[in-house]
């Protein structure tokens, strides 16, 4: 059953097949001015445990989630070749209905990302 409201963020390293525990994430509201609404590291399950995932403080409007991917790759055994391409990865999206839940699965390798609205 889908959750009501909120923005949940889930990171998975699909090259190694593991949750991206420790990946640094920031969630920014962009209107009426840019403001940080959540920040932290993904847990062992790859999810950001923050009240925004349960809807706290989420209103309609544009948002940006920023992933500190390069730092995570370097800290998790990837070498210079694999960490030279992606660094900080921003993703902008719009919450049109704050009563709906917005799940953002972030799947990545050192060479590419996939990010979409999941369920």
Per-residue model confidence as pLDDT tens digits over 20-62: 999 999 999 999 999 999 999 999 999 999 999 999 999 999 9
Q: 116 lies in a domain? A: no
65 assigned to some structural domain: yes
Does residue 55 belong to any structural domain of this protein?
Answer: yes
Q: What is the mean pLDDT of residues 89-94?
A: 98
What pLDDT shows up at residue 4?
A: 75
Query: Which residues, 6+ apart, have CB-to-CB distance to 94 below 8 Å?
Result: 61, 62, 63
Instruction: State the Cα–Cα distance between residues 49 and 70, nearest whole angstrom.
Output: 21
Report yes or no on 20 lying in a domain.
yes
Q: Which residue range forms the structural domain that includes residue 65?
A: 7-107
2 pLDDT more than 50: no
Stated as kind and residue range, the H or E segment containing 74 is helix 69-75
Torsion angles phi and psi, residue 48, rounded to 5: -85, 115
Backbone angles phi, psi at 98, to 5 degrees: -65, -10
Asked whether residue 1 is assigned to any structural domain, the reply reads no
pTM: predicted TM-score of the whole model, two decimal places:
0.94
Residue 113 lies in a domain: no
- So what's the pLDDT on residue 3? 55
Determine, yes or no, domain membership for 62.
Answer: yes
pLDDT of residue 119: 81
Q: How many domains does the chain have?
A: 1
Inform me whether the pLDDT recorded for 111 exceeds 80.
Answer: yes
Residue 75 reports pLDDT greater than 80: yes
CATH of the domain at 96: 2.60.40.180
For the beta sheet containing 102-109, the strands, ordered from the edge strand earlier in sequence to the opposite edge, are 18-19, 7-13, 102-109, 112-115
Terminal alpha carbon distance of the chain: 9
8-state DSSP, 102: E
CB-based contact 53:45 (threshold 8 Å): no
């Amino acid at each position: 059953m889908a959750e009501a409201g909120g923005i949940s963020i889930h990171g998975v390293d699909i090259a190694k097949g593991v949750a991206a525990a420790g990946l640094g994430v920031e969630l920014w509201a962009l209107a009426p001015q840019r403001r940080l609404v959540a920040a932290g590291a993904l847990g062992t399950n790859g999810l950001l445990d923050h009240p925004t995932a349960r809807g706290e403080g989420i209103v309609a409007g544009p948002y940006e989630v920023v992933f500190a991917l390069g730092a995570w790759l370097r800290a998790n055994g990837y070498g210079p070749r694999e960490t030279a391409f992606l660094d900080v990865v921003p993703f902008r999206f719009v919450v049109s209905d704050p009563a709906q839940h917005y799940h953002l699965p972030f799947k990545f390798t050192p060479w590419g990302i996939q990010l979409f609205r999941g369920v």
